[in-house]
Amino acid sequence: MTGEIVGGWEYVIAAYVISALVYGGYAYSVIRRDNASRSPSPSASASPSASASKEKKS
Amino acid sequence: MKPKTLVALGGTLLIAGSFWGLLFAPAEIFMGDVYRIFYIHVPTAWIGLLLLTAAFICALMYLLKGNLLWDDRLEATMEAGVVLSALLTIQGSIWARPTWGVWWNWDPRLTTTAILVFAFAGILALRTSLKEPRRRAMVSSVATIVAAADVPLVYFSVRFWNSLHQIQSSPETVSAAFVWPLRVNAIAVLILMAGLISIRAETVARLREAGAEPPPLDAPQPLSANTFGVNR
């Protein structure tokens, strides 16, 4: 027993793969939610205030 | 610089720093190649704790100023901080298996980190149940300030108590041969998270403004047709 660790690349690879998935997944999630918040929702166009403004224009 | 540019820059730097640490940095004398986890684990820890400290500052600023923009920033920083702290726990567990012989140990550093993850994740869950923005901001600011007491405990746990975990790593405690990939990755995670938090805070603000935020108390209330019982 020398106290030295031999090998262990499988742990290193596992740590980096999981980190890549978490960082990448979180970045994707933030950008996707941002894009979704920018697109107009169907309920917004059907809201009373939206229909009222349409009536004013016509 | 635009937030998405920060995300792209941070992501690219993180890939470069990780390959540097994995392929070009020398092996450590006792831990061999397993120590290479440290190039992703330590930056995750630093920035995770930094973000939760930033969440604490946002909570304090909301309580002082009463501006809901601080609550938007609070949610964005806390969410990112919880993601990094949870990842930190997983990375630490993977590193613990070959070095300590176990996946998990109720060591002070690990225990305080687990409490940190659950406390802040709990606050995020609590926020989803509170629909009124001012009430949500007030409750989560107070809860954040209470939960943030665990951040210094996590950081100093390795000095306060007898811990299996080594003392804090810093560029001063790391040999020159190992330090540059560590610095690159720390800067990369910081830039990446700065970009993501900017985007997220903007999204949270947009959703809040689109939602049912009540008008201020001194604002005149609009009259509806049915206010006087008129049926038109």
Find the helix or strand (DSSP H, E) in which B149 lies. none
Whether A48 shows a pLDDT value over 70: the answer reads no
Among A6, A7, A31, the residue with its CB nearest the CB of B199 is A31
Inter-residue contact B168 to B118 (CB < 8 Å): no
CB contact under 8 Å between B199 and A16, yes or no, is no
pLDDT at B213 over 70: no
Checking if the pLDDT of A50 tops 90, the result is no
Give the minimum alpha-carbon distance from B199 to chain A in angstroms, rounded to a whole number: 7
pLDDT for the residue numbered A1:
60
Residues B60-69: what's their mean pLDDT?
94
**Is residue B111 scored above 60 in pLDDT?**
yes
**Residue A47 and residue B212 in contact, taking contact as beta carbons nearer than 8 Å:** no
Q: In this predicted model, what pLDDT tens digit does every residue of B9-25 receive, in sequence order?
A: 999 999 999 999 999 88
CA dist., res. B85 & res. B81, Å (int)? 6
Band of the pLDDT at B116, cuts 50, 70, 90? very high
- pLDDT number for residue B187: 96
| Interacting residues of A19 by C-beta distance below 8 A, sequence separation 6+ | B40, B44, B87, B91
Choose the weakest-confidence range: B107-121, B161-175, B189-203: B161-175
Give the angle subtended at the CA of B55 by the CAs of B52 and B57, to the nearest 5°. 115
> How far is the C-alpha of A5 from the C-alpha of A2, rounded, in Å?
9
Q: Are B141 and B59 in contact (CB under 8 A)?
A: yes
**Per-residue pLDDT tens digits for B135-194:** 999 999 999 999 999 999 888 888 888 878 878 777 677 788 888 999 999 999 999 999
On the question of pLDDT at B72 being above 50, the answer is yes
A12/B34 CB distance under 8 A: yes
Distance CA B193, CA B186 (A): 11
Mean pLDDT of all residues belonging to chain B: 88
pLDDT band at A26 (very low <50, low <70, confident <90, very high): very high
How many Å apart are CA B21 and CA B182, to the nearest integer?
A: 8
- Asked if B42 is an interface residue toward chain A (Cβ–Cβ < 8 A), one would say no
ipTM: 0.85
Nearest-Cα distance to chain B for A18, in Å, is 8
